[in-house]
């Protein structure tokens, strides 16, 4: 936590944290720190365009599993590593013709970046560029991948679990129990985690994410009254 972050935590009347590690740090600085999920039960107000739906349906017919991931920008962490890990996913899926990956890239930043760098993109990797409801991509595919080097309380992970989708994610922060974790200090690599999904059956998610809406309203109401 930086100096300014620590200062903000100390002087705030209420501090809301989205993961355990941040909460434990903040609690030492401010006893009013609160750990809370950012997940609110989704309301579907927009549908995917038919061309995207057709591509996903076609992928389902021609592959073992269809995976999805998302990235809203091409950014790097303090160690110079790509935060969303899209390049690593592209490298992996380029070698796996029997599984598909859909990359939600609304701004087209990654798509343009790979074009500029002349990165090979095989037919089993599709970019979804332009405005679209990513939650509908999650609902239409088999598994969501969160290959990040840093994170908060990923809303997309909770949405995927809510709709009974498999989720694999790095262990850069604490994840929900039903997420398949891989990465540093774990027994699984990205390839291992994907293999677990390929061998698993579709089952309802146990311990679905809790809707934080009521808790959030109460928190703000109490803060306003005080």
Q: What is the pLDDT of residues 27-81, one digit of tens each?
A: 788 887 777 676 777 777 789 999 999 999 999 999 999 999 999 899 999 999 9
Domain with 64 in it: 50-199
Side-chain half-sphere CA neighbours of 65 within 13 A: 21
Number of domains in the chain: 2
Q: What is the pLDDT of residue 41?
A: 77
My answer on whether 71 and 150 are in the same domain is yes
Pairwise CA distance, residues 226 & 221, whole Å: 9
Rounded alpha-carbon distances, angstroms, from residue 204 to 78, 108, 169, 220: 37, 33, 18, 33
Pairwise CA distance, residues 215 & 35, whole Å: 11
Q: Quick one: average pLDDT of 174-196?
A: 92
205 within some domain: no
Q: What is the pLDDT of residue 164?
A: 93
Lowest-pLDDT choice from 80-89, 103-112, 121-130, 181-190: 181-190
Name the residue with higher pLDDT: 211 or 84: 84
Q: What is the pLDDT of residue 197?
A: 96
Pairwise CA distance, residues 36 & 212, whole Å: 7
Q: What is the pLDDT of residue 184?
A: 81
- pLDDT at 13 exceeding the cut of 80: no
My answer on whether 29 and 77 are in the same domain is no
Q: What percent of the chain has pLDDT over 70?
A: 89
My answer on whether 96 and 158 are in the same domain is yes
My answer on whether 185 and 79 are in the same domain is yes
Name the residue with higher pLDDT: 72 or 201: 72
My answer on whether 22 and 104 are in the same domain is no
My answer on whether 107 and 138 are in the same domain is yes
My answer on whether 18 and 127 are in the same domain is no
114 within some domain: yes
């Amino acid at each position: 936590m930086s100096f300014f972050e620590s200062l903000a935590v100390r002087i705030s009347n209420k501090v809301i944290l989205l993961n355990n590690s941040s909460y434990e740090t903040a609690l030492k600085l401010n006893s009013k720190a609160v750990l809370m999920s950012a997940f609110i039960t989704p309301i579907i107000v927009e549908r995917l365009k038919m061309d995207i739906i057709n591509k996903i349906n076609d992928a389902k017919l021609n592959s073992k599993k269809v995976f999805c991931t998302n990235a809203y920008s091409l950014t790097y962490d303090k160690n110079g590593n790509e935060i969303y890990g899209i390049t690593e996913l592209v490298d992996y899926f380029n070698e796996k013709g029997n599984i598909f990956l859909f990359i939600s890239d609304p701004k087209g930043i990654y798509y343009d970046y790979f074009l500029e760098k002349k990165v090979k993109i095989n037919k089993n990797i599709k970019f979804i560029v332009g405005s679209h409801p990513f939650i509908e991509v999650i609902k239409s595919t088999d598994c969501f991948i969160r290959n990040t080097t840093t994170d908060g309380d990923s809303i997309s992970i909770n949405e995927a679990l809510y709709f009974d989708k498999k989720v694999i994610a790095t262990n850069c922060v604490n994840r929900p129990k039903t997420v398949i974790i891989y990465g540093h200090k774990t027994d699984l690599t990205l390839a291992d985690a994907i293999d677990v999904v390929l061998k698993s059956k579709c089952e309802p998610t146990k311990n679905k994410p809790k809707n934080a809406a009521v808790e959030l309203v109460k928190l703000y109401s109490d803060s306003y009254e005080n």
